[in-house]
């Protein structure tokens, strides 16, 4: 296993981790918004 292969693998791994973090953050924002909408929807229909 050469040094350049290790560097390439490391860069690839960092890219995957970075993309996953972005995706997770995006879905967390969406989930929070979705829950907020659901709660307000249920609350407004409880009257």
Q: For residue 3, what pLDDT band results from cuts at 50, 70 and 90?
A: confident
Q: Which residue has the tokens 């924002």?
A: 29
Give the DSSP H or E segment for 42: helix 3-44
**Over residues 23-40, mean pLDDT:** 91
The structure tokens listed for 27 are: 């879905």
Q: For residue 1, what pLDDT band results from cuts at 50, 70 and 90?
A: low
C-alpha span between 17 and 34 (Å, rounded): 25
Q: Give the model's pLDDT for residue 47.
A: 59
Q: 30 in helix, strand or coil?
A: helix
């Amino acid at each position: 296993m050469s040094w350049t292969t290790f560097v390439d693998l490391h860069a690839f791994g960092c890219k995957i981790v970075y993309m996953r973090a972005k995706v997770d953050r995006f879905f967390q924002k969406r989930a929070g918004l979705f829950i907020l909408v659901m709660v307000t929807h249920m609350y407004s229909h409880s009257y």
